[in-house]
Structures are given as structure tokens and as C-alpha cells.
């Protein structure tokens, strides 16, 4: 019995697909991901095609994209020559991998560009001072964020989870009595 015969599974999948579009991910990609996430076994591409009613080529592209995020991986199923696919089930891992990839694709190039622009602007006598200042500020801001991310990224997962559970209370460890929660 196909997974999506269940109305709640289908509702999940449809919503997940829409979520994707709102964050710049194409609907097919996020739907394939949702299907694999809900599945209790590795699925071959053909079955994804059948269950979602998408073109074979489209599913192939979607799987490639999901693998590039490292949130779906190919697995071998014995007795079957076809490739099968499974989604990462640990949601914390899923989130950090998506974040890492989007930073790599979009944020890092942006930081690089801002850096170039800022560097050129400081030497440019003709540049309006506020333009120079605003772009420099943006570059510094994104660099700071990126630096923070790189530090947090390498923390062991249990540490990350512990920190998150701690929530705003981490602020109580700061000097200067800044914390409201402490």
C-alpha cells in the first residue's frame, strides 16, 4: 500500500513541498525529500516517480540535489540492481547539513563579493562615503555571522543540543550581569 494513501502522510508531503518553494527550493525536490523521510525503507527512483507522479528526469535531478545537500544518500538493497535512496532521519543532522550547504552556496560568495567591493571602495576617492560605509558594515556583519557559524558548526552534536536546550539561559554565563534569565 502506497505511503501517500494515508491522508496525513499526504498532507505532510504537500506542506513540505510548499515550504520548499518559500525558501527557494523547488517543489519536486522537497516532495521527494518528504517522501523519503516518511518511508520506512529505501526507495528506488521508479517508485518515487510512481508515488509522486513526477517525470523520471525530474526525480533524477531532485535526488542529485538532495544528495548534494547530504540529506539523502544512495544505498544498496540486496537482490536488486537498482539504486535505492534513503533520507537522513536525524533532524538535527539534516538541519546542520542544509545550513552548511546553503552557506557554502550563497552566503560565502556574498561575503566574498562584499569584501571585494569594500576593498575597492576604501581606495575610491569618488565613492560616496555612506556607500563605502554601508557596504563595509555589511561585509563585517556577514563575516562575523559566518565566523560564529564556523565555530558552532564543529561542536559535537550533543553539545549543540545541550546549548539549544539551555536556550536564553546561556546568557547568565556572560560577564556584566547581562542576563535576564540568570
Please report, as ranges, the residues that interact with DNA according to CB under 7 A.
21, 26-29, 44-46, 53-58, 60-61, 63-64, 81-83
Q: In the bound complex, what is the minimum distance in angstroms from residue 83's beta carbon to its own copies?
A: 22
Pick the closer one to DNA by CB: 62 or 121. 62
Q: Show the CA angle centred on residue 89, arms to residues 83 and 90, nearest 5°.
A: 140
Q: In the bound complex, what is the minimum distance in angstroms from residue 43's beta carbon to DNA?
A: 10
Q: What 3-state class would DSSP assign to 174? A: coil
**Could you give the angle at which helices 7-22 and 27-38 cross, rounded to 10 degrees?**
140
Q: What 3-state class would DSSP assign to 24? A: coil
Q: Which three cell numbers stand for residue 123?
A: 581606495
Q: Which three cell numbers stand for residue 173?
A: 554565563
Beta-bridge partners for 84: 44, 75
Pick the closer one to DNA by CB: 19 or 152. 19
Q: Which partner, its own copies, DNA, none, binds residue 63 by CB below 5 to 8 Å per kind? A: DNA
Pick the closer one to its own copies by CB: 75 or 181. 181
Q: Which partner, DNA, its own copies, none, binds residue 83 by CB below 5 to 8 Å per kind? A: DNA
Amino acid at each position: 500500500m502506497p505511503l501517500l494513501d494515508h491522508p496525513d502522510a499526504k498532507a505532510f508531503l504537500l506542506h513540505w513541498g510548499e515550504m520548499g518553494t518559500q525558501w527557494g527550493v523547488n517543489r519536486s525536490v522537497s516532495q521527494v525529500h518528504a517522501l523519503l523521510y516518511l518511508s520506512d525503507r529505501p526507495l528506488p527512483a521508479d517508485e518515487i516517480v510512481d508515488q509522486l507522479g513526477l517525470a523520471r528526469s525530474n526525480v533524477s535531478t531532485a535526488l542529485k540535489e538532495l544528495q548534494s545537500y547530504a540529506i539523502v544518500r544512495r544505498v544498496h538493497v540486496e537482490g536488486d540492481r537498482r539504486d535505492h535512496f534513503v533520507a537522513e532521519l536525524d533532524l538535527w543532522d539534516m538541519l546542520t547539513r542544509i545550513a552548511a550547504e546553503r552557506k557554502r552556496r550563497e552566503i560565502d560568495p556574498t561575503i566574498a563579493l562584499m569584501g571585494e567591493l569594500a576593498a575597492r571602495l576604501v581606495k575610491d576617492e569618488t565613492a560616496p562615503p555612506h556607500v563605502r560605509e554601508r557596504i563595509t558594515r555589511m561585509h563585517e556583519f556577514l563575516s562575523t555571522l559566518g565566523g560564529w557559524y564556523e565555530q558552532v558548526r564543529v561542536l559535537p552534536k550533543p553539545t549543540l543540543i545541550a546549548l539549544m536546550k539551555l536556550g536564553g539561559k546561556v546568557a547568565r554565563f556572560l560577564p556584566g550581569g547581562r542576563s535576564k534569565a540568570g
